[in-house]
Amino acid sequence: MHIHRTAEQIAADRQRYEEHQRVGLEFSPKTLPTPSPRPGPVPEEGSVAMSRSIPGGWYTTLRLSRGEVLRLERQGPVSAVSLAGWAAKDTTERMNLPDTVKLQWTTELKKGRVVFSDMGRVMLSIVEDSAGAHDALTGGSTPATVAQYGDPNLRNTRDNMVLAAAKLGLDRCDLMPLLNLFAPVRVDAEGQFEWRAGMIGEGDWVALRAEMDLLIALSNCPHPLDPRAGEVPAPLEVTKLKSVPVPEDDLCRTATAEAQRGFENNAKAEG
């Protein structure tokens, strides 16, 4: 059914959009925090709830309770990681990267930014980040992207995520566009994706705080745009840190008007 919209309705919608954009930009931090130092500090004694290593080409799943922090550390070249996330209480609520980018007016997800669910709630806060080189646009590797290298032993993120979803009691239809960490993808002046290798380095790490109980899947496969994607990546170190109190002025919770509304939505759902 075609719905005819008048010029007045179109103009009113445009005005609402521009007002939303203005408010979002005004609330954006004027100066983002400096990157976290490389390498990351050794976790404090007693703070580690779990630690494991993901071999190159493989995957893992885990559960994060609200307030716990997921720390990921690169151990060598070609080490990227794709992440998928679901609300543990209701897995129909899942990570939504289009909304994450749109609501924060940027594709550059770095320290101080958050990751939204498809219900407008905040799932993860990026509380530490040494590179700011993460990709919310292109997705992970697939059987087709690795087939070009002619190595039958190369694994890919798509198949890994299907297996990871099954371990969590989910199906391939529950998968969403993936967040690729340590993947320096940017868009050039012609609108083409490019790989900016200089943005990442030895000792890079990122820490993500869970803002609700979550189910997480991680795949340690090379990004399809990485020039060395035909190589097996180095292991990825995964650490789960116990929750600690979050201050009222926490940057992730106050950086933008959209983040503030997201946390308000979290509080309403929890109440």
Distance CA 101, CA 37 (A): 25
Q: Write down the residue that tokens 């979550």 correspond to.
A: 214
Residue 263 in tokens? 């946390």
Kindly tell me the burial class for residue 160, based on how many C-beta atoms sit within 10 Å of its own C-beta (0-12, 13-18, 19 or more): buried
Residues 6+ positions from 265 with CB-CB distance below 8 Å: 119, 120, 121, 122
What pLDDT digit, counting tens, does each position of 215-263 carry?
A: 999 999 999 999 999 999 999 999 999 999 999 889 999 888 889 999 9
Percent of the chain with pLDDT strictly greater than 70: 93
pLDDT reading at 20 higher than 70:
no
CB 171, CB 116: distance < 8 Å? no
Kindly tell me the burial class for residue 116, based on how many C-beta atoms sit within 10 Å of its own C-beta (0-12, 13-18, 19 or more): buried
Percent of the chain with pLDDT strictly greater than 90: 71
| Closest-CA residue to 122 (of 28, 213, 25, 33) | 213
- DSSP per-residue codes, 140-187: ---HHHHHTTT-TT---HHHHHHHHHHHTT--GGG--PPEEET--EEE
Residue 250 in tokens? 């926490």
Kindly tell me the burial class for residue 10, based on how many C-beta atoms sit within 10 Å of its own C-beta (0-12, 13-18, 19 or more): exposed
What confidence tier does 23 reach under pLDDT thresholds 50, 70, 90?
Answer: low
CB 110, CB 134: distance < 8 Å? yes
pTM greater than 0.85: yes
| Closest-CA residue to 79 (of 180, 147, 177) | 180
| Closest-CA residue to 233 (of 83, 58, 82, 62) | 58
Strand-pairing partners, residue 12, are none
Residues 6+ positions from 10 with CB-CB distance below 8 Å: none
Amino acid in the structure at residue 219: S
What pLDDT digit, counting tens, does each position of 102-161 carry?
A: 988 889 899 999 999 999 999 999 999 998 899 999 999 999 999 999 998 899 999 999
Distance CA 171, CA 152 (A): 25
